Chain A
Amino acid sequence: MEAAVAAAFRAEWGRIVASLIRLTGDWDLAEECAQDAFARALERWGRDGVPDNRGAWLTTTARNRALDRLRRDKVGRTKHRLLATDPSADGPVGSNGAGPAGGSEGSDERLRLIFTCCHPALSLDAQVALTLRTLAGLSVGQIAHAFLVPEPTMAKRIVRAKAKIRNAGIPYRVPPDHLLAARTEAVMAVLYLLFNEGYGATAGSDLIRQGLCDEAIALARTLVQLMVGQPEPAGLLALMILHHARRSARIGPTGELVPLEDQDRARWDAAAIAEGAALLEGALAHRQPGPYQVQAAIAACHATAPVAGATDWAQIADLYARLATMLPTPVVQLNRAVAVAMADGPAAGLRLVDDLEAGGALAGYHLLPATRADLLRRAGRHGEAVRSYRAALALAGTDAERRYLARRLAVAEAGGHDGSDVRPA
Chain B
Amino acid sequence: MRYLMMICATEDTVGSTSPDQATAMMAEYATFSEEMAARRVLQGGERLRPTSDATTVQVRDGKVLTADGPFAETKEQVGGYYVAECRDLDEAIDVASKIPGARFGSIEVRPIWEM
Is B1's CB under 8 angstroms from A169's CB?
A: yes
Within 8 A of B (CB), among A354-369: none
> Are B111 and A170 in contact, with the CB atoms below 8 A?
no
B86 at the interface (CB under 8 A from A): yes
Chain A nearest Cβ from B108, distance in angstroms: 12
User: Nearest-CB distance from B43 to chain A (Å)?
Assistant: 16
A 386-424 to B, binary, CB cutoff 8 A, 1 in contact else 0: 000000000000000000000000000000000000000
Measured between alpha carbons, how far is A175 from B92 in the docked complex, in Å? Answer: 14
* Interface contact B88-A171, CB-CB below 8 Å: yes
B111 touches which of A119, A168, A171, A179 (Cβ 8 Å): A168
- Judge whether B93 is part of the interface by a CB distance below 8 angstroms: yes
With a cutoff of 8 Å between Cβ atoms, the chain A residues found around residue B89 in the complex are 119, 121, 168-171
Whether A169 pairs with B93 at a CB distance below 8 angstroms is: no
- What B residues does A171 contact at CB under 8 A? 87-90
Q: When chains A and B are docked, how far (Å) is the Cα of A72 from the Cα of B100?
A: 49
Bound form: Cα–Cα A169–B1 in Å? 7
**B1 neighbours in A (Cβ, 8 Å):** 169
| Interface footprint category on B | 10 to 19
Residues of B within 8 A of A119 (CB): 89
- Docked CA distance A179–B90 (Å): 9
Are B90 and A175 in touch, CB under 8 angstroms?
A: yes
A167 within 8 A of B: yes
Contact A167 B88 (CB under 8 A): no
Chain B residues near A168 (CB-CB < 8 A)? 89, 109, 111
Complex alpha-carbon distance, A169 and B109, angstroms: 11
A147 to chain B, nearest CB (A): 26
Count chain B CB atoms within 10 A of each CB in A121, A168, A171 and give the residue with the most: A168
Contacts of B93 in A (CB 8 A): 121
CB pair A167 B90 closer than 8 Å: no
A89–B44 Cα gap in the complex (Å)? Answer: 29
Q: Mark A12-51, 1 if CB is under 8 A from B, else 0.
A: 0000000000000000000000000000000000000000
In the complex, what distance in Å separates the CA atom of A168 from the CA atom of B86? 11
List residues of chain A with CB within 8 A of the CB of B88. 169-171
By a CB distance below 8 angstroms, the chain B residues around A169 are 1, 3, 86-89, 92, 111
A413 to B3, CA, bound (A): 64
- Which A residues touch B87, using CB under 8 A? 169, 171
Which B residues are CB-close (under 8 A) to A167? 111
- Annotate A153-184 by CB proximity to B: 1 below 8 A, 0 otherwise: 00000000000000111110001000100000
Q: Smallest CB–CB gap between B100 and chain A, Å? A: 21
Binary interface encoding of chain A residues 105-120 relative to chain B, with 1 for a CB under 8 A from any of its CBs, else 0 = 0000000000000010
Give the docked Cα–Cα distance between A119 and B90 (Å).
10
Q: Of B88, B90, B92, which is in contact with the most chain A CB atoms at under 10 Å from its CB?
A: B90
Task: Encode contact with A along B57-85: 1 for CB under 8 Å, 0 otherwise.
Answer: 00000000000000000000000000000
A residues whose Cβ falls under 8 Å from a Cβ of B: 119, 121, 167-171, 175, 179
Interface contacts beyond A167-B111, A168-B109: sample of 11 additional A-B pairs, CB < 8 Å, sorted by A: A119-B89, A168-B89, A169-B1, A169-B3, A169-B86, A169-B87, A169-B92, A169-B111, A170-B88, A171-B87, A179-B90
Interface residues of B (CB under 8 A from A): 1, 3, 86-90, 92-93, 109, 111
